[in-house]
Structures are given as structure tokens and as C-alpha cells.
């Protein structure tokens, strides 16, 4: 990496950290902070899907299922057994990771559109379970009254999560934790093996890479962080229903990953923030809002096929520049 790239990378890291901390104080309305909270949750989802698709090359269309498993597990534990958020959150994440592990054992030997179709059917199956297990999930009526996270009392400081700003910083901490774990993973020996599988699975196997083990690790970690995002979402919105965890939501998360650049750590983060906030900016267009949104996505695919972050990196920060 050139000195120029190192300086730019460090500057972007610090700029992003400082901006994330001060951003709620720069926004005029509480609703804008609400959009930031949702963008932070989607950034965890997009990062976890980017790990599976961008770095391991496995097409998954059931990410919303893991998202929902985390949300329902944490919510049901809190509502029915009074489990505190700080425990039910991790049980929801581990539960989603366990389901993704079991699913991965069954489907990760498939490739390409076969894997995509199989994971899509699993996502539909989970959404149907949420709809039909009415005694447990209340079906289409959803689960109301999900409790907020309990306050943290440090003695000299008490932190509650009543306001959107306080919850934003909670989401920021979890997003930072997820980002750190995924960043360390993709820059480790396992990360190199993931990229090798993405580029040429047969060749990677010939040099001793256990492709099934690596793909299963990626799929499990991605599912676990999706479940974590689901639990955070449930205890923020305080109500969940099956309509939030459909195949359409999986495609929405996938769009964020592709928009930002799936083969970049920053790409899914940028994509999740832009595609959470962009529809709100287009709200003034009224009925044309979704048309303009679709047009923007189409233009990006045509002119920036590598994704926003990767295309900018190739154009302005390539070694030849």
C-alpha cells in the first residue's frame, strides 16, 4: 500500500469515527436520529451479509430469516420470561448463528443459483413459521410491548435508553463491535481463505483449504450478527411482526451490499446508510419516490458496476493514479 493510500485510509477512519459521534447533534429533528438508528442496524446486517457474499462468494437470500430469529428470540425471552435485554440479546444472536450453522451444513455444498434458490425458500419458510405459530409469535398481529434495554448504572453515571439519541449510541457501539470482529476476520488467515474460495474454490481446495469449513464459518458468523441486529431492532421499535422479515427484506439488504460494493469492508456500511436515508430524501417527490429510487439504483449498476466504494477506489486511489 502506498503512503498516499495509508494517509487517506487513516484520515477516513478518523473522519468516520468523529462524524458518527457528533452526527446526532448536527441534525435538526428527532426523526433524523431515528433514521440514523435504522441505518446503524442495517449496517450490521449489510456487513454480515457482505462477509458471506462479498468475501466468501456464497449467494444467500435468507438473511432476513436470521434477522427475524434474533428479533423473535430476544423479544419472547424478554416478554415471557422477563429476561434482561443484555442477556436475551446474545441468546438471540447465538440462536440465529446456530440456525445458520445447521442450514449451512445442509446447503453450502450447493453453488450459484441453486444455493440462492435454496436459501430463498428457507427465508420464505421461516417467514411462514413467524406467521403461523400464532400461540408463540401471535402471527400477523405481531409482538407488542417489547421492553427497552435496562438502564446502565455506573455509580457516577446512569445511562438509560429512553431517547433516540441514547439508543443511537447503543447501536453505534454494537455496530462498532460487529465491524471490528468482521474486519479482524477478513484480515486474518481465515479471511484470506475466504477470498481464495471466492476467486476459485477448486484451486483453493487443491492447496489445502478446507472450503466447507471456511464457508460454514462465514455463514455462521454472518447469521449470528444478523440475529444480533434483529434483537437490537426489536428492543428499539418495541414491536415486531413477520412483515419485517420477508424475502423482500433479504433482497433489500442484498441491494445495500451490492450498492456499496460487496468486496469491500466499507462498501456495505456506505450502502446501508445511503439506501436507508435516500428514500427519505426522495419523499418530497411523492408518488414518484420509488420510481426515482429504482432509477438511481439502475444508474449505479450501469455506470458503477463494481459498487460505489470499489468504483471510487478504482478511479481515484488505484496504484496507477
64-108: pLDDT as tens digits: 999 999 999 999 999 999 999 999 999 999 999 999 999 999 999
pLDDT at 319: 53
- 321 in a structural domain: no
> What is the domain count for the chain?
1
- 18 in a structural domain: no
pLDDT at 1: 55
Residue with cell 462477509: 51
- 20 in a structural domain: no
Average pLDDT over residues 207-224: 95
Average pLDDT over residues 170-174: 96
pTM value is 0.93
Q: Considering only CA atoms, which of 92, 125, 130 is closest in space to residue 247?
A: 125
pLDDT at 17: 86
Contact by Cβ (8 Å): 223, 96:
yes
pLDDT at 290: 73
What CATH number has the domain bearing residue 172?
1.10.3470
- 184 in a structural domain: yes
Contact by Cβ (8 Å): 97, 224:
yes
Q: What residues make up the domain containing 140?
A: 3-12+29-316
Within the chain, where are the H helices? Answer: 3-26, 30-50, 63-81, 85-107, 112-132, 134-137, 164-186, 189-199, 201-206, 211-237, 247-260, 266-281, 289-303, 308-316
Mean of all residue pLDDT scores within the chain:
90
- 23 in a structural domain: no
- Which tops the pLDDT comparison, 311 or 170? 170
- 249 in a structural domain: yes
Kindly state the percentage of the chain with pLDDT values over 70: 95
pLDDT at 194: 95
β-bridge partners, 152: 159
- 21 in a structural domain: no
DSSP annotation of 110 reads -
**What is the band of 321 on the pLDDT scale with cuts at 50, 70, 90?**
very low
Q: How many Cα atoms sit within 13 Å of 112 on the Cβ side?
A: 2
pLDDT at residue 271 above 60?
Answer: yes
- 190 in a structural domain: yes
Q: What is the DSSP string of 200-214?
A: -HHHHHHTT--HHHH
CA distance from start to end of the chain: 13
Amino acid at each position: 500500500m502506498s503512503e498516499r493510500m495509508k494517509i487517506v485510509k487513516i484520515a477516513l477512519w478518523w473522519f468516520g469515527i468523529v462524524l458518527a459521534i457528533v452526527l446526532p447533534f448536527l441534525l435538526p429533528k428527532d426523526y433524523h436520529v431515528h433514521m440514523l438508528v435504522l441505518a446503524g442496524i442495517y449496517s450490521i446486517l449489510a456487513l454480515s451479509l457482505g462477509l458471506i457474499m462479498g468475501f466468501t462468494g456464497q449467494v444467500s437470500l435468507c438473511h432476513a430469516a436470521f434477522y427475524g430469529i434474533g428479533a423473535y428470540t430476544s423479544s419472547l425471552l424478554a416478554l415471557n420470561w422477563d429476561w434482561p435485554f443484555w442477556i436475551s440479546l446474545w441468546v438471540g444472536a447465538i440462536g440465529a448463528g446456530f440456525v445458520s450453522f445447521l442450514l449451512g451444513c445442509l446447503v453450502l455444498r450447493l453453488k450459484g443459483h441453486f444455493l440462492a434458490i435454496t436459501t430463498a425458500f428457507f427465508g420464505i419458510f421461516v417467514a411462514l413459521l413467524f406467521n403461523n405459530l400464532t400461540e408463540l409469535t401471535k402471527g400477523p398481529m405481531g409482538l407488542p410491548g417489547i421492553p427497552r434495554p435496562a438502564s446502565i448504572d455506573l455509580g457516577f453515571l446512569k445511562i438509560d435508553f429512553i431517547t433516540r439519541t441514547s439508543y443511537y449510541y447503543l447501536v453505534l457501539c454494537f455496530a462498532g463491535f460487529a465491524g471490528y470482529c468482521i474486519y479482524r476476520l477478513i484480515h486474518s488467515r481465515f479471511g484470506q481463505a475466504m477470498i481464495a474460495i471466492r476467486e476459485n474454490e477448486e484451486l483453493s481446495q487443491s492447496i489445502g483449504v478446507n472450503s466447507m469449513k471456511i464457508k460454514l464459518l462465514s455463514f455462521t458468523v454472518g447469521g449470528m450478527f444478523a440475529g444480533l441486529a434483529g434483537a437490537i431492532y426489536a428492543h428499539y421499535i418495541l414491536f415486531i411482526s413477520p412483515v419485517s422479515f420477508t424475502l423482500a427484506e433479504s433482497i433489500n439488504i442484498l441491494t445495500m451490499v451490492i450498492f456499496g460494493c460487496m468486496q469491500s469492508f466499507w462498501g456495505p456500511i456506505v450502502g446501508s446508510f445511503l439506501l436507508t436515508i435516500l428514500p427519505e430524501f426522495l419523499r418530497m417527490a411523492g408518488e414518484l419516490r420509488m420510481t426515482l429510487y429504482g432509477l438511481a439504483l439502475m444508474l449505479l449498476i450501469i455506470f458503477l458496476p463494481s459498487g460505489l466504494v470499489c468504483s471510487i477506489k478504482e478511479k481515484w486511489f488505484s496504484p496507477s493514479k
